[in-house]
Amino acid sequence: MRLGRLQTIGVVLGLVGVFLIAYVSPNLGSDTKAFTFDAPPDPPTLSFTPGVAVAAIGVLFVLTAMLAFFEERSGRIATIALVGSGLLFLPLIVIVALALSESTGTNVVQLIVESLRLGTPIALGAMAGLWCERSGVVNIGIEGMMLGSAGVGFMFYSLVGDASSVPILWASIGVAVITGGLIAALHALMSVTFRVDQIISGVVVNLLALGVTGFLRSEVVVPSGVTSGTPTSDIALPGLSSIPVIGPQLFDARPIFFLMFVLVTASWWVLWHTKFGLRVRSVGENPHAAETLGIDVIRTRYTAVIIGGLIAGLGGAWFSMESQGGFQDNMTNGAGFIALAALIFGKWRPWTAFGGAMLFGFTRALGSRLQILGVEVGDFEIPSEFWQSLPFVVTIIVVAGLIGRAIPPAAIGRPFERSR
């Protein structure tokens, strides 16, 4: 008997459930832990016994695994149950971590908000990739676009505004966005006009950005004496920031964080609800058919790639002018590649790609939170390097095909030459 994908996942999930019930749950002790939902001194809490909670999740895993073998009868219920069980891994990790630490509780709202914040550049990078790849142009140069934008934007901020002037800060963010667009135009020139292999073009962009920003930092920014500055300030959204519990934590944040939601929504609307978006998607699926309908394929691809570069430039500005207020060599630290994984996870659609970005943001936030909790297995304290590797482990799992077959646009990566 050959197992399908859902049944294979079900078997793995069932084995994990049995392991949780038989081994993990009995060894977590009987101390009461709590999820808190606000800052001290008197936050709302949800108390639980880790052993009981883990056993309950294990039982749900086993039941879901059994349901997966009745896919024909249960229809979409089995798929929904498997997705829900997959999401349970997130609280499961936090529950086990709390049980293995001396902490009595953790603020889950703060963890979610931190996940959204750390997922911001990944979501912006995923939207940059979405625009490029929906038009048929592979873009593994997102990392270089963000890194180049972060470096050039902060260099402008430090030289012109001493990294302290608010008007120059906004101008510098604009410079970062334009830099992303210019780097994207270079990628389009190589891959669309000169028909260079698009993977090689993306690698060139990444290496160029790494070298140029390193040079600018060592030869321009450091000699200027202004290597750090004032980042963007928090903005409280009127009304929303007053909502109890979540308002002060979610709706009192920095501007690029809010712009990320605007750009995800705008990308979804333009690509799926406008004539221009239909043209972008058509040249990514069948450029020659689009050409027969009067669409300028080359111009459309240039436009889409440059739009993606502008979005990636805003992601670069997040690193150097919102998150840290400074620039370090290779400070994007693989975010562009993780953004590509989020795009694949989302199957080249904006909201599911956004969900993938938030998943990776959660793994980064979780790694930092587990370091703070000081998780120990027996007398062995898990090193920080392990937690820092979590986003890349999740990336490998995603691109290995856990989400099923992700079908890209049909003409992606194929050079186009006008027929007339």
Structure tokens at 161: 């505004």
Comparing 318 with 371, which gets the higher pLDDT?
318
Task: Assess if residue 221 is contained within a domain.
Answer: yes
Please check whether residue 64 is in contact with residue 13, taking contact to mean a CB–CB distance below 8 angstroms.
yes
> Are 270 and 140 members of one domain?
yes
Task: Assess if residue 239 is contained within a domain.
Answer: yes
Structure tokens at 210: 């790494």
Task: Assess if residue 153 is contained within a domain.
Answer: yes
Please check whether residue 141 is in contact with residue 340, taking contact to mean a CB–CB distance below 8 angstroms.
no
**Cα 420 to Cα 411: distance, rounded to the nearest angstrom:** 19
Task: Assess if residue 187 is contained within a domain.
Answer: yes
pLDDT attached to residue 214: 95
> Are 220 and 311 members of one domain?
yes
What backbone torsions phi and psi does residue 107 show, to the nearest 5 degrees? -85, 105
List Cα–Cα distances, 21 to 17, 34, 58, 99, 257, in angstroms. Answer: 6, 21, 6, 15, 40
Its pTM stands at 0.91
> Are 90 and 145 members of one domain?
no
> Are 90 and 131 members of one domain?
no
CA-nearest of 88, 149, 39, 107 to 365 is 107
> Are 271 and 303 members of one domain?
yes
Q: Which residue range(s) make up the domain with 317?
A: 114-402
What backbone torsions phi and psi does residue 38 show, to the nearest 5 degrees? -160, 175
**Cα 64 to Cα 366: distance, rounded to the nearest angstrom:** 26
Task: Assess if residue 104 is contained within a domain.
Answer: no
Please check whether residue 268 is in contact with residue 288, taking contact to mean a CB–CB distance below 8 angstroms.
no
pLDDT attached to residue 332: 94
> Are 69 and 170 members of one domain?
no
CA-nearest of 415, 52, 419 to 201 is 415
State which of 99, 124, 141 marks the end of a domain. 99
Task: Assess if residue 393 is contained within a domain.
Answer: yes
What percent of the chain is modeled with pLDDT above 70? 93
- Residue 34, strand partner residues: 47, 105
The dihedral of CA 38, 43, 44, 45: what is its sign? positive
State which of 71, 99, 127 marks the end of a domain. 99
The total domain count for the chain is 2
pLDDT attached to residue 378: 65
Task: Assess if residue 143 is contained within a domain.
Answer: yes
| Other CB atoms within 10 Å distance of the CB of residue 7 | 16
> Are 122 and 87 members of one domain?
no
Ranges 1-15, 25-39, 81-95, 265-279: which has the least confidence = 1-15
> Are 169 and 266 members of one domain?
yes
State which of 72, 99, 126 marks the end of a domain. 99
- The domain that holds 309 is classified in CATH as 1.10.3470
CA-nearest of 211, 142, 175 to 317 is 175
> Are 221 and 294 members of one domain?
yes
Q: Does the pLDDT at position 230 exceed 80?
A: yes
Comparing 371 with 26, which gets the higher pLDDT?
26
> Are 17 and 118 members of one domain?
no
> Are 86 and 171 members of one domain?
no
Comparing 407 with 301, which gets the higher pLDDT?
301
> Are 128 and 85 members of one domain?
no
Task: Assess if residue 407 is contained within a domain.
Answer: no
* pLDDT tens digits, 269-306: 999 999 999 999 999 999 999 999 999 999 999 999 99
